[in-house]
Structure 1
Amino acid sequence: MGSAMSEILHTESFSQVSRFHATRSAGFSSEEGAMTARFTVLKDIIVVDRHTGLMWQREASPDRLMWPEGFAYIDALNAAAWAGYDDWRYPTQEELATLLMPEENQATGLYIDPAFGSQRCLWSSTEAGHHKSVYADFYYGDLYLVEQKYANHFVRAVRGERL
């Protein structure tokens, strides 16, 4: 881990938000197969969350991106009408927090439902302070704040009414 990543600022407020949403949105047991009860995979490329009504990319961006580059990635999805839709966007921190599961998935080692790809860190659209953004780390199961110029994370686009 580079020195830039050691500069990550973890704040209690982000932790409280993620734990609240993970507990509130879970609605599943830890038994194999039960975890996907709230998610429906369509066309093998998108996932619909029946609790929030949001539609997600199943796999995130193919490469890690700097936070500003994520907007170009989203624009390219919309220009191509990816999966038949042209209203994809960056998720908010609250929306990403709904994907954090209260228990680790034993198969992937991540705190995210197995309906999704195994990308560990995902950017949110949420900015906090000067050149800082919130991202979800599904390995640790929490939200973090980092300076945009120090991190490359994946982007998982979402569509639907903002939470």
Structure 2
Amino acid sequence: MGMFQKLQIGDSVTPEIDWEMTPDMTFGTFESWGGREQMRSRISGTDRVYYFFIDNWDDEPKLCLMERGVKHARVAAEIRAPEQMLKKCVENHGTSSLFEKSYAINGEIKEWLIANVLESEDTSAVIPLYDKPEVEDMGGALPLLSESGFAGEKVALPTEHSFINDDELAPLMKKWNFYDGDLNAEGNFENFLVDPGDRRVVVDQRTGLMWQRGGLDITAVRSMKRKIEQLNKDGYAGFHDWRMPTMEEAMSIMNKEVNSKDIHLELCFSKEQPFIFVDAQRRPGGYWYVDYKHGRAFWSSGTIPGGFARLCRSM
């Protein structure tokens, strides 16, 4: 990914500067599973990539810092730089169409940035550009685990990796009364969700599962497994045994009705993981997913094994 430097932006520090990234490269890297799939598979929504570019849409060119992720783009800062240096860079790019007014920086600008911004204690050249962060509705307070007094029937769902044929999926949904808009539209599995005292997780006392309220952003299946290994090494929420849910576990939190975030989940779960990997493969080939946006299970070819994750653990 090239040479990385750190840059102070307001109260935060960017995790990395990618000197090789350019505006032309961003579609293949962040919007498509095309020729740069291998690079994109290493990038998640929480691992933003930052690069400098020249914005020439107005009368005068501007040097900007872009924050980029999968399906995410935000200009994080404008950098006050010598006007003639920017104009020279734009001129050297030659003729472009009316719709191509974002340019890669050249070696001269890179050297100027390193000397005058990245390695300088004077931050006056950096103008942070802040977006008002969206505050997601995570619902009201849940009963506390220590005070819930759950006395209902508990259900032991399968926890092991499985292979599922197409014709086995509908019977599976009906067996557990899971809602699937295509295969079991009358299903309605009941949960009993409680707060264990950590706002990052929620516990379903009916299944004995602890869930991430959020999850991991979209990436390739191999990269996802590495991220889960790191998350367990770090001890997310104090635990080291997080895993992808099985098909049955993932379907158990599917709601029949959509919530105010237009997703088939309780409000305590984030909308940012609309479909997730499950620990199940399809025969004769492919990976199974659960889609909370459209209320169904589906499979995708193993040639494009990308998805989000919402992890669980058995209590």
TM-score by length of 2: 0.41
Q: One-letter code of the match for 1:21?
A: F
Structure number, greater radius of gyration: 2
Partner of 2:189: 25
Taking a change above 3 Å as real, the CA distance of residues 12 and 102 of structure 1, as seen in their structure-2 partners, is farther
Q: Which has the higher contact order (CA 8 A, sep 6+)?
A: 1
Secondary structure at 2:289's aligned position in 1? strand
Equivalent in 238, 241, 244 of residue 90 of structure 1: 244
> Cα offset for 1:15?
4.6
Which residue matches 1:128?
A: 282
Q: What TM-score do the two structures reach when normalised by structure 1?
A: 0.76
Which segments of 5 or more consecutive residues in structure 1 lack a partner in the other structure? 5-10, 28-37
Q: CA deviation at 1:116?
A: 0.6
Alpha-carbon separation, structure 2, partners of 1:131 and 1:13: 14
1: CA distance, partners of 2:261 / 2:278: 22
Match of 2:207 among 52, 63, 66: 52
Assess if the C-alpha contact under 8 Å between 1:66 and 1:149 holds in 2: no
The count of corresponding residues between Structure 1 and Structure 2 is 142
2:299 to 122, 141, 145: 145
Which has the larger share of helix? 1
- Listed as ranges, the gaps of 5+ residues in structure 2 are 1-31, 35-165, 180-186
| 1:87–1:124 Cα change, 3 Å | same
Asked if the contact 1:109–1:139 (Cα under 8 Å) also holds between the matched residues in 2, the reply is yes
**Which whole-Å deviations, capped at 9, do the CAs of 1:96-128 have from their partners, x for residues lacking one?**
0101111111x1111111111112111101011
Displacement of 1:26 in angstroms is 2.4
What's the RMSD between the two structures over aligned residues? 2.4
Query: Secondary structure of the residue that 1:14 maps to in structure 2?
Result: helix
1:72 aligns to 2:226 (yes or no): yes
Q: Give the drift of 1:69.
A: 2.0
User: Which amino acid letter does the alignment assign opposite residue 56 of structure 1?
Assistant: W
- The 3-state SS of whatever aligns with 1:140 is coil
User: 1:95-114 to 2 correspondence within 5 Å?
Assistant: 95-105=249-259, 107-114=260-267
How far has the Cα of 1:131 moved from its partner?
A: 4.9
Q: Does the aligned pair in 2 maintain the 1:15–1:142 contact within 8 Å?
A: no
Q: Quote the Cα distance in structure 1 between the aligned partners of 2:243 and 2:172.
A: 21
Q: Distance in 1 between matches of 2:200 and 2:302?
A: 28
Match of 1:91, as an amino acid?
Answer: P
Secondary structure at the counterpart of residue 113 of structure 1: coil
Secondary structure at the aligned position of 1:135 is classed as strand
Q: Deviations over 1:120-155 (max 9, x none)?
A: 111101011355111010111111111133242111
